[in-house]
Structure 1
Amino acid sequence: MSALYLGTGKLEKYLIEKLDNKLDTNQQIKLNIILDYMRGTRVNNKDNQSSMSFLRPMVEKHVNRNLRIGFWHHPDTGLFQGKHSQGPLREIFGVHHIKAHVFDHNVLITGANLSEDYFTDRQDRYYIIENCEPLANYFDDLISILTDCSYNLNVDGMLKMLPQYPEPNKQPKKFKNQMSHHLRFLRFQHRTQISTQEDLKIEDYFSEVKPQNMNDEDVLLIDQKGIGKPFKNQDETEFKTESHQNKIKQHNNDSLAGEEQVLIENSSFSDEYILDKIVQINKKQEQDQEGSGRVFIFPTLQMNVINYKEDEELFMELLKFYSQQENKFDRLQLATGYLNLQKEIKNLLNQNKNLKTDLLTSSPRANGFYKAGRFKKFIPGMYRAKELQILQENSKSKNIKIFEWESGEWTYHAKGAWFYEQEESNNPVMTIIGSSNYSNRSNRRDTECQLYILSDSEEFRHKLKIESDHLFSKSKEVSIEHITKFDEDPLTFKERILAKIMNKLL
């Protein structure tokens, strides 16, 4: 299980009780939870609890069980701003933001946290991919690697790094190098297509990517039991290729795609490969096509802190691809709870006049920080200032519209994208779901994970359309005049100034 934090209310207590009961009744169960250090150790003023203190009794109870709880610490917060400071402001430097959960061979991908408001009255998106072992293994290994590289909650109630791992706030450079190698190994391990029929040894792969400024002893790998070992002692470990690894693995997915086939494409493929696959699917010209009804899934990661930018690079390539006139894509819907598009994304959208873009975000009143105390009360207005900036910059092209979501007392947190093709049905051909807000913060500071899901099944595409229609049905288009003059929460001068100052942190 992976989230920014775990709440401390009644519903969260119920969830922990269920997990605790599973550990009592099933000796074989493996439970791994990864949360953000900054948010997960922040004490809630209402009950004087934090995610860490909330989980501590379960760790103390289940000694010597297959239970691991980690708190990932951003390496670029420094000693003072990070581990030894208190309060929510320390979270502005970057957090663990991946929201994904694995239950046996089932994967739940979302943008929501494990908190009561998300369970009850906060709009978000949730996709369940059932009976898909390759994807489940991918996320299981990802969560295990992140936990290895985190402060682990011990039976004594203390947070400690594993002995072979450097503390991120004390040795950030060494920590980043090790994180980078772990994630490269993850990509290698989960390839679904390998260019050779021969057995590949782990050291053959790492010999090409090991930084020159590191010693062999500095490089740690995860073996099959999840134990870190020095790089130079891995000679005996081999990664076996099998005949089915040269084919795309197929699994049924009843909840997501009905009778459609689900094909997992690992993110180690190049952007060009994925774009070519999109073209083939939408033109229905693949040589191995067996008829419609297939769903393709591409998982991506974003961890700019270690220069790991899979998600950003793929999304940018998609926008560039759509800007080419010979391609038949003419419409994009992009949703985020916090609208502060990265500059490069805004530029591509403004330049591509033929791509009609609908941006969906929270109204100030549906923002989770609306009328919060102290500095937080300015956050909805700062994001409103970013909306105004987008509309002003697009005043000539006029291919971008902004819609604000609002529904009673509910708050809004849904994020993702839907892509549409010309001369086809009114259904999207692809969606993106995950944790990214497509902002400076998401792509430069936080850890993010996404699934790019596309299909040649009209039935499945129609389900995507139903979802996007539902979200947009509770929104209203806003204009420059509405934001500056007519709204009941008018944008203030202070909010505009703060939005400029805090741009890279939003």
Structure 2
Amino acid sequence: MPTPDNNLAHDSFAYEDEPNKLAHYVSQELDLPMFKASSASIHRIESPRQFYGLLKKKIIQAKRRIFLATLYVGKEERELAYFLCRALARNPALQLTLLMDAMRATRESPKSVSSASLLSHLATMFPDQVDIRLYSTPLLRPGSFKSRLLGKRFNEGFGLQHMKIYGFDDDIIMSGANLSRDYFTRRKDRYILIHQHAPLADYLHSLILLISRFSYAVHYSGDTDVLNHCKKKIEELDDFSSELTDVYKSPFRLTWDGGRDLLLTEDADGTIVPSGLFPPSNQYPVRNWASQAHKDLLEFTERWKQRCQKMEHHHFEKADTCIVPLLQMGQLNISQETEMIPYLSKFIEALRLRPSKSPQAVARPFTTVDITSGYFTLSSIYRSLVLSDRLHQKGTSSGQIPVAFRLVAASPEANGFFGSRGITNRIPAAYTYMESQFWTEVVEKKLNRPIDTAMQDLQDPVSTGPISAVELREWRKYGWTYHSKGLWISPPSRRNDLCLPSSTLIGSSNYGARSEKFDLECSLLITTHAPALRKLFATEVTDMREDARDLMNEEAFRAQDRKVDIVTRWLTQLVKYMM
């Protein structure tokens, strides 16, 4: 892993007004593509219902392409399947690329409708328009003896396609949300829309196509007469018609073509074209393809870095925002997100040093770093960031600015596994156990103590006292579950009541060991000096903390209802790297 130059904290970063230095720094040091953007093109989607409504609107409005990467599509999402089918029937020029996880998308089959059975008909109904691919970890193949031995729920612990990318022409929605009913109604998540950014859309579409090359193709195996009837009558049917109900329950099969039969590909300048124009130079074997995937992902990253450098002076002249995509694919030996953390730490450290050239006083003399995950289990590198001695050490200089880490996790009741059957019923308690272990480290380092008894955050909707170096809260809202994930950096401000994040991470990563080592993840590092976009990020943080009123401390973890039995503790230690 690259090591940041220690001098960068003093020489390369401006104190408050140049947050885009972080994106430039990460891109340069890790050889990653960086896209410039206008802050006016970036919007927040505020609720699950708005997210679902926008998805349907974008599907119908798409003219050229829809590209979707998700863990799964809910088996009950007949309306979403219907909208995709109708959009494809209405527009023969529309191309759909859909990437899901093989284990999760086939979990309910063959006894019930699954993601694969719900959508497989699209590839057969529109053979020149649709690619549906299911990624399976190199450790397990679908239907193999090992996967059957482990069982459908447990084999998901060995790695998933976890990216959440929803693209429509040149618009992108980045999120942590899957495409199922809970995520459209009562599960708190994040969604950022980036409007009309063709280069970033091409990058993300190309990424999905690359992963699709070493994924399984999904084929419909049901009654083709019923399928042809549905295609002819699609405008007259609704999503609960008996004909479509039969289609959604139909059998399917998975085949491996090594990427040979994909309809689309990335051309020489990065745009997406029919694959016949730029056929792939190699096909992936059904086994032992991980090393080739690693090589192709490195070449993909280098190719896009060079393209971004060429387009830097020709696009987005009014750009005030920078975007660096970060891939984390541990089983394919790609670790851009975790390699970014030392540079993020160096940037935060730089914010502690108030430069002498700054003539104005600092009214809000601390940096806040907000981190949230619905499944709280910080990996070792994120834990080292939060507990860093270097970031928390008290300096002798009067100009040194402290750092406050504010963490938000799901309460047991807001955990998506709360009340589930079988062994998964223990998962909320397992996360409580991991939270308590983390908090023990915080207390041992004395980071739970106030930074300064007089230092408060007047903008925080839940805090009533002095800020501490590390704070942990739990999110709770009646009838809701919590799935948000994100990181925001708010530098010191010259106004005591103004907390405006200048940088954020948005994407699929939960910042845990599983995200680091097993799953396919994609996040965007977004930095900006635009006041409007910084206010949008601030609203995200405030809305999140409004329902994070449960302050966790030693007393909270000692409460009778938070005690974790010995069996759950033992099981957690056994599988914590897969959670």
Structure 1: runs of 5+ lacking an equivalent: 196-243, 252-260, 263-293
State the match for 1:420 in structure 2: 490
1:205-354 pair list within 5 angstroms: 245-247=311-313, 249-250=315-316, 261-262=318-319, 294-323=320-349, 327=353, 330-351=367-388, 352-353=391-392, 354=402
1:325–1:106 Cα change, 3 Å: closer
1:160 and 2:255 matched: yes
1:407-446 pair list within 5 angstroms: 407-424=477-494, 425-446=498-519
Mean Cα deviation higher: 467-476 or 320-329 = 320-329
2:164 to 99, 111, 124: 99
User: How far apart, CA to CA, are the structure 2 residues paired with 1:327 and 1:361?
Assistant: 30
User: How far apart, CA to CA, are the structure 1 residues paired with 2:174 and 2:519?
Assistant: 17
1:505 and 2:571 matched: no
State the match for 2:130 in structure 1: 67
Shift of 1:484: 1.9
DSSP 3-state at the match of 1:159: strand
Shift of 1:76: 1.8
User: How far apart, CA to CA, are the structure 2 residues paired with 1:455 and 1:124?
Assistant: 22
DSSP 3-state at the match of 1:299: strand
DSSP 3-state at the match of 2:196: coil
Whether the 8 Å CA contact 1:110–1:126 is kept in 2: the answer is: yes
Shift of 1:193: 5.7
User: How far apart, CA to CA, are the structure 2 residues paired with 1:385 and 1:316?
Assistant: 27
Mean Cα deviation higher: 448-457 or 313-322 = 313-322
User: How far apart, CA to CA, are the structure 2 residues paired with 1:85 and 1:70?
Assistant: 23
1:57 and 2:121 matched: yes
Show CA shifts across 1:462-502 (max 9, x none): 1111111001100121112112225x454333332222222
State the match for 2:552 in structure 1: 478
Whether the 8 Å CA contact 2:501–2:534 is kept in 1: the answer is: yes
Mean Cα deviation higher: 418-427 or 16-25 = 418-427
1:397 and 2:447 matched: yes
1:447 and 2:447 matched: no
1:186 to 296, 300, 310: 300
State the match for 2:397 in structure 1: none
Whether the 8 Å CA contact 2:490–2:503 is kept in 1: the answer is: yes
Show CA shifts across 1:29-48 (max 9, x none): 11000000110110079x71
State the match for 2:37 in structure 1: none
State the match for 1:496 in structure 2: 569
DSSP 3-state at the match of 1:82: helix
1:326–1:123 Cα change, 3 Å: closer
1:404–1:167 Cα change, 3 Å: farther
Q: Which amino acid aligns with 1:90?
A: N
State the match for 1:126 in structure 2: 191
Q: Which amino acid aligns with 2:299?
A: F
State the match for 1:232 in structure 2: none
Q: Which amino acid aligns with 1:247?
A: H
State the match for 1:23 in structure 2: 88
Show CA shifts across 1:393-436 (max 9, x none): 01122221111111111100000111011235411111110000
Q: Which amino acid aligns with 2:485?
A: K
Shift of 1:319: 2.0
1:66–1:185 Cα change, 3 Å: farther
Q: Which amino acid aligns with 2:481?
A: T
Compare CA radii of gyration and give the structure with the larger one.
Answer: 2
DSSP 3-state at the match of 1:453: strand
1:446–1:149 Cα change, 3 Å: same
User: How far apart, CA to CA, are the structure 1 residues paired with 2:327 and 2:379?
Assistant: 17
State the match for 2:466 in structure 1: none
Q: RMSD over aligned Cα, in angstroms?
A: 2.2
Whether the 8 Å CA contact 1:33–1:68 is kept in 2: the answer is: yes
User: How far apart, CA to CA, are the structure 2 residues paired with 1:379 and 1:316?
Assistant: 31
1:384 to 432, 451, 457: 432
DSSP 3-state at the match of 1:431: strand
User: How far apart, CA to CA, are the structure 1 residues paired with 2:82 and 2:478?
Assistant: 32
User: How far apart, CA to CA, are the structure 1 residues paired with 2:95 and 2:296?
Assistant: 21
Q: Which has the higher contact order (CA 8 A, sep 6+)?
A: 2
1:5 and 2:72 matched: yes
1:366 and 2:440 matched: no
State the match for 2:97 in structure 1: 32
1:246–1:358 Cα change, 3 Å: closer
* Fraction of identical pairs, as percent: 27
Whether the 8 Å CA contact 2:474–2:552 is kept in 1: the answer is: yes
User: How far apart, CA to CA, are the structure 1 residues paired with 2:437 and 2:376?
Assistant: 11
1:48 and 2:48 matched: no
Q: Which amino acid aligns with 2:257?
A: L
DSSP 3-state at the match of 2:405: strand
User: How far apart, CA to CA, are the structure 2 residues paired with 1:361 and 1:397?
Assistant: 18
Show CA shifts across 1:265-303 (max 9, x none): xxxxxxxxxxxxxxxxxxxxxxxxxxxxx1211111111
Q: Which amino acid aligns with 1:182?
A: D
Whether the 8 Å CA contact 1:138–1:190 is kept in 2: the answer is: yes
Aligned length: 409
DSSP 3-state at the match of 1:75: coil
Shift of 1:317: 2.3
1:81 and 2:107 matched: no
TM-score (norm 2): 0.67
DSSP 3-state at the match of 2:69: coil
1:135 to 196, 200, 206: 200
Q: Which amino acid aligns with 1:397?
A: L
Structure 2: runs of 5+ lacking an equivalent: 1-67, 222-251, 261-282, 355-365, 393-401, 449-468
Whether the 8 Å CA contact 1:316–1:345 is kept in 2: the answer is: no
DSSP 3-state at the match of 2:559: helix
Whether the 8 Å CA contact 2:417–2:424 is kept in 1: the answer is: yes
1:60–1:463 Cα change, 3 Å: same
Shift of 1:446: 0.5
User: How far apart, CA to CA, are the structure 1 residues paired with 2:87 and 2:149?
Assistant: 35
1:194–1:504 Cα change, 3 Å: closer
User: How far apart, CA to CA, are the structure 1 residues paired with 2:481 and 2:290?
Assistant: 36
Shift of 1:8: 1.1
Shift of 1:194: 7.3
State the match for 1:149 in structure 2: 214
Whether the 8 Å CA contact 2:69–2:208 is kept in 1: the answer is: yes
Shift of 1:347: 2.3
DSSP 3-state at the match of 1:323: helix
TM-score (norm 1): 0.76
Shift of 1:85: 6.1
